[in-house]
Amino acid sequence: MTNSLRDPKVAATLKRLHARATADWLVFLRALPAVLWGWLRGRSAMESAIPYLKNAYIPINAEQGQVLYALARAAQAKTIVEFGTSFGISAIYLAAAARDCGGRFTGTELEPNKVKTARENLATAGLDAVATVLAGDARETLKEIAGPIDFVLLDGWKEMCLPILKQLEPQLRPGAVVLCDDIKAFAKTLAPYLAYVREDGGPYVSQLLPLGDGLEFSVYLGASEVRS
Ligand SMILES: C[S@@+](CC[C@H](N)C(=O)[O-])C[C@H]1O[C@@H](n2cnc3c(N)ncnc32)[C@H](O)[C@@H]1O
């Protein structure tokens, strides 16, 4: 059985990108004065840091990538959607799974320089035939997505994760997997998201996976499962 993560082009591209992403600490260092200044004026760290993050990867780690790939394979995901593609690291794991499941990956990214590079990186990995990176705000670009959606990764700015999930929900197939990253680092911002996916009697079953900064793993049960 095929495992595209073992494809030499995919493996080499991921190795190169994970190595490049280690330089993110320099970006965060440059953002520090603005973050501290913003903090004194009551702004969130993310709000103050955003102008500096145009060149930051802020990626999932390799262990998370392996788990994303495995979960997408287990779900036999044919339609995989990502909110927040950055330079394409998570996109490569997910496009590899899409190819091996006979499906397609669609990512969406706000920053034009990241869109261009993510597309190039997917092409270098040999995955461009099964991958699309939509340019622009996910609230608009994801309106184009036709369901049923089998797998979603929510990894854009955290206050948008719940609105994007609700926007995609009518297209989710029962049994669809939804993952949301950085649960521990953004506990306050993501509290409404967690309350929604963990709601007793709600349309999801959900559990935190202790990977990276915390990856919330939710399975959509379908609208008919919601208790009245
Ligand atoms: C944490 S990074 C994503 C990392 C990526 N998933 C990876 O693992 O390689 C978050 C990205 O979401 C993008 N983003 C934030 N808000 C967005 C929006 N409304 N629409 C599209 N992209 C957005 C940011 O520009 C940033 O590149």
Is residue 211 scored above 90 in pLDDT?
A: yes
For residue 30, the one-letter residue type is R
Q: What was the pLDDT predicted at 225?
A: 61
Q: What was the pLDDT predicted at 49?
A: 82
Q: How confident is the model at residue 173 (pLDDT cuts 50, 70, 90)?
A: very high
Taking only Cα atoms into account, the Rg of the chain, rounded to an integer number of angstroms, comes to 17
- The fraction of the chain above a pLDDT of 90, given in percent, is 78
Query: Which ligand 1 atom is the nearest neighbour of the CA of 114?
Result: 27
Residue 153: C-alpha distances to residues 46, 93, 178, 222 (Å): 20, 11, 6, 18
Q: Ligand 1: distance of its center to the CA of 1 in Å? A: 32
Residue 194 · residue 207 · CB < 8 Å: no
Residue 84 · residue 50 · CB < 8 Å: no
Q: What was the pLDDT predicted at 11?
A: 98
Q: What is the mean pLDDT of the chain?
A: 94
DSSP 205: E
Q: How confident is the model at residue 50 (pLDDT cuts 50, 70, 90)?
A: confident
Stated pTM of the model: 0.94
Q: Ligand 1: distance of its center to the CA of 157 in Å? A: 6
Q: What was the pLDDT predicted at 227?
A: 56
| Most confidently predicted of 86-90, 155-159, 221-225 | 86-90
Q: What was the pLDDT predicted at 226?
A: 62
Around ligand 1, the residues with Cβ closer than 6 Å are: 57-60, 84-86, 89-90, 108-111, 114, 137-138, 155-157, 160
Q: What is the pLDDT of residues 97-150, one digit of tens each?
A: 999 999 999 999 999 999 999 999 999 999 999 999 999 999 999 997 898 999
CA dihedral 104, 105, 108, 113 (to 10 degrees): -110
Q: What is the pLDDT of residues 29-47, one digit of tens each?
A: 888 888 898 888 887 777 7
Q: Ligand 1: distance of its center to the CA of 111 in Å? A: 8
The CATH architecture that domain 59-225 belongs to is: 3-Layer(aba) Sandwich (3.40)
Q: Which residue's C-alpha comes closest to atom 11 of ligand 1?
A: 84
Q: Which residue's C-alpha comes closest to atom 10 of ligand 1?
A: 156
